[in-house]
């Protein structure tokens, strides 16, 4: 291949990568805009207090999925003092900011009874931003069983969001992330603290 052809090929590759990155950022921004527009609790002018970290493409990671077989149901504490029944569905192993990390995804006993949501997987977590830059009891990511492909699943921390308890206290029962899902790194992606102090 001539130098000219190699140059053209490299140029096209850079353009394609740039377009893919821009497309991803656009899709993430659309996700955030839709999240704010259709928020289930925060309404009208209060939506201005919904804040997100800057979009970080490195926060979209490919995690190895290892199923947890014969997992028993357990009682997961919530913010209201009541408990909800969950079980471990799988362990996610991945690299983040150069270090090995692991989180568990869970299945809700209640949602398994609902045909519309029986595919749902729940990923609650805390990290070193918890209680400082992000909500004090942790954040959530929604996944589905069908997201698991060939032993891997894409986890996008840019899509992590606050439980409803972050906006209204004493009304909702928000699951508290288990100890096994407390990351010892800072994940500066996804939703930040709600800024309305009224």
Encode pLDDT of 124-164 as tens digits: 999 999 999 999 999 999 999 999 999 999 999 999 999 99
Q: Which parts of the chain sit beneath pLDDT 70?
A: 1-21, 197-198
The pLDDT score that the predictor gives to residue 155 is: 98
- Return d(Cα 151, Cα 172) in angstroms, integer: 34
The pLDDT score that the predictor gives to residue 170 is: 83
**Hunting for tokens 């954040």 — which residue is that?**
139
The pLDDT score that the predictor gives to residue 33 is: 96
Q: Quote the pTM value.
A: 0.87
The pLDDT score that the predictor gives to residue 44 is: 94
Helix, strand, coil: what percent of the chain each, to 5? 30, 30, 40
The pLDDT score that the predictor gives to residue 196 is: 77
By CB neighbour count within 10 A (0-12 exposed, 13-18 middle, 19+ buried), where does 169 fall?
Answer: exposed
**Phi/psi at 187 (5° precision):** -105, 95
**Phi/psi at 4 (5° precision):** -60, -45
Cβ atoms of 56 and 158 within 8 Å: the answer is yes
């Amino acid at each position: 291949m001539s130098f000219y052809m190699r140059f053209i090929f490299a140029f096209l590759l850079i353009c394609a990568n740039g377009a893919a990155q821009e497309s991803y950022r656009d899709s993430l921004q659309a996700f955030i805009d839709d999240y704010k527009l259709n928020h289930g609790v925060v309404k009208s002018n209060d939506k201005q207090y919904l804040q997100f970290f800057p979009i970080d493409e490195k926060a979209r990671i490919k995690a190895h999925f290892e199923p947890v077989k014969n997992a028993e149901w357990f009682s997961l504490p919530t913010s209201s003092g009541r408990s909800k029944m969950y079980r471990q569905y799988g362990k996610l192993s991945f690299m983040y900011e150069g270090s090995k990390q692991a989180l568990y995804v869970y299945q809700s006993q209640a949602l398994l009874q609902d045909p519309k949501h029986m595919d749902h997987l729940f990923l609650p977590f805390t990290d070193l931003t918890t209680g400082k830059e992000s909500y004090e009891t942790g954040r959530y990511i929604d996944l589905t069983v069908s997201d698991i492909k060939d032993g891997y699943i894409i986890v996008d921390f840019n899509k992590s969001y606050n439980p409803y308890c972050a906006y209204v206290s004493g009304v909702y029962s928000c699951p508290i992330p288990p100890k096994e899902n407390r990351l010892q790194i800072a994940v500066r992606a996804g939703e930040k603290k709600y800024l309305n102090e009224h």
